[in-house]
Chains A and B, each alone.
Chain A
Amino acid sequence: MSRAKGSIVGIGELKPQRLTQGVTTLEMIAEVSRLAVLDAGLERAAIDGLLVGPQVGETPQHVPATIAEYLGLAPTMANVVDLGGASGAGMVWRAAAAIEAGMCEAVLCVLANNREETAPRSPNRNPIREFDVPFGASGANISYALLMQAHMAEYGSTARDFALIAAAARANAQLNPDAIFYGKPADAEAVLASPMIASPLHLLEIVMPVAGGEAVVVTSAERARSLGKPPVHLLGAGEKVTHRAVSQAPHLTSGPLKNAMARAFQQSGTRADEMDLLSLYDCYTIMVATTIEDAGLCAPGAFGAWLNEHDLSHKGDKPLNTHGGQLGFGQPDLAGGMTHVVEAVRQLRGEAGERQIGNAGLALVSGNGATMSEATALVLGAA
């Protein structure tokens, strides 16, 4: 296996909430950043790199400077990572790369969002707004419904195959008291009985939007060894961006994560079937199905059979999204993608409590943005 490119030494997470009142995203960023830096056992002044997400409706420009000032940081590397749900995973390798380039030594990667009762509609002006919205296609649900329908037609995958993914996420969420669906399991029948939103996509196959925040601290593998918590090493990463609107997708049943994961495996000298944890981006059930296939865990179109052959719980042979995934935990907007990083770190540290997996050595983390179009993959390894 390859050497570590950098290490995650701190994590922070806010409990998801359905709605916030009078709380700004900046306030939530401050809270979750503090948690991650405390967890790392670093002094605030040691943070000299800052990666943040875009903030539509709150701080449209100068986001890194606004957040640095708010947190009292004076970073020597600061940037926005704008890859939708792939932003969190995208931050981790960028942090390691910036450290390796000699620009900084400890990078705070933070994403958070408030969620008010009446969120303003953003004044978009782009090709999706001009050429999709007037025809009745607003929002991500329809895009993923189109991807799901194409998968069913090409491979004969069934509604029940997809429902099993949502049911497994809900089952895993029963061991995470912070999850929005803690205490609310749902089996495949309940998923299939939930309202049709955009055929063939049912309500319970779609993430619940929540407020929340996630942060990690990345430093060099060398420095990580001197800190309190067991470091989690970045062994490989991959990224690919192919399109934005679903109509412009080069393929409907395979996505850019295929290339991103292949690069992450190649860099780390690992294979998909060696992963002890699958921490896979799950905005919709179809996203998990396609990622399982694109990772090479099964043949294209065969995810349904694969699900039936494996136990996805923390005790199972293929633990998948042990925090409940976003389908069980809730999706705190862009921070949702970072939940997959934070959970992988918990598992690889052996800090996952009653949902701890056995032999936590390697984890695959995937991030996905827009319409299966922005993809980042990480292979993380225990110290």
Chain B
Amino acid sequence: MSVDLNTLKTPGPTITALTRPFWDAAAEGRLMIQHCEDCGKAVFYPRPICPHCWGKRLLWKDASGRGRLKSFSEVHKPGHPGWLPAAPYVVGLVELAEGPTMLSFILPGTRPQQIGDMLLLAPTAIGGRVLPAFRQIELATEEEPR
């Protein structure tokens, strides 16, 4: 993957008023997810009610930006033609430290991806917008998310 990801003609998100805070934060390089005031659980993707308890008191909070790689795939034949210039690239399931899992783009690391890798938020411009991508935490330095 040597292409400038920001020049890709990839499909962007279909944003609604409800999901707008997530994407506004993403544009600023932050990862914001909902937290349920009733049951205390974190919620991803954004919803009008908590899927765990159906409570309606959902608050947006900045996530820690830490996660664990639950699975990944190196994509050689993308499902959308806009991704062809970037192939092969890696997508993964990221279990956020707060609990929920999201699918994300995984930036190339210094060592091959492995399930169980600890990940850090790495905001990346892809297809003309900044997305909450992730990358491996470097083992030598105990990195802190910004």
Contact = CB atoms under 8 A, between A and B. Distances in A.
A198 B75 contact: yes
Interface string B63-75: 0000000111111
Nearest to B104: A135
A150 B133 contact: no
Given A125-B14, A129-B14, A134 B131 contact: yes
A124 B13 CA distance: 11
Nearest to A132: B103
B11 interface: yes
Interface stretch (A140-148, A300-308, A319-327): A140-148
Contacts of B77: 141, 195, 197-198
Nearest to A145: B73
A201 B70 CA distance: 17
A131 B13 contact: yes
Interface string A127-160: 1011111111111011001110110011000000
B93 A246 contact: yes
Given A135-B91, A136-B91, A130 B76 contact: no
Interface string B6-46: 00001111111001000000000000000000000000010
A149 B73 contact: yes
Contacts of A130: 13-16, 19, 45
A130 B83 CA distance: 16
A135 B86 CA distance: 12
A198 B114 CA distance: 15
Given A139-B79, A142-B79, A245-B103, A133 B73 contact: no
Contacts of B15: 130
A77 B127 CA distance: 48
Interface residues of A, number: 35
Contacts of B14: 124-125, 129-130
A8 interface: no
Nearest to A151: B71
Given A149-B72, A247-B102, A136 B86 contact: yes
Contacts, number: 111
B5 to A, nearest CB: 9
A199 interface: yes
A130 B103 CA distance: 11
Contacts of A201: 73
A252 B103 CA distance: 13
A198 B74 contact: yes
Nearest to B12: A134
Interface string A231-268: 00000000000000111100010000000000000000
A149 B73 CA distance: 7
A197 B10 CA distance: 19
A78 B116 CA distance: 48
A246 B80 CA distance: 18
Nearest to B124: A135
Residue among B15, B93, B116 having the largest count of chain A Cβ atoms under 10 Å: B93
Contact of A247 (B89, B101, B129): B101
B108 interface: no
A150 B73 contact: no
8 contacts: A133-B80, A134-B129, A136-B80, A145-B73, A146-B72, A196-B76, A199-B74, A246-B93
Interface of A: 124-125, 127, 129-139, 141-142, 145-147, 149-150, 153-154, 195-201, 245-248, 252
Interface of B: 10-16, 19, 45, 70-80, 83, 86, 88-89, 91-93, 101-105, 114-116, 126-127, 129, 131, 133
The 10 closest A-B pairs by CB, nearest first: A139-B79, A138-B79, A145-B73, A153-B115, A199-B74, A138-B80, A150-B71, A146-B71, A247-B103, A198-B73
Given A146-B91, A149-B73, A252-B70, 5 more contacts: A124-B14, A127-B45, A130-B13, A136-B83, A145-B75
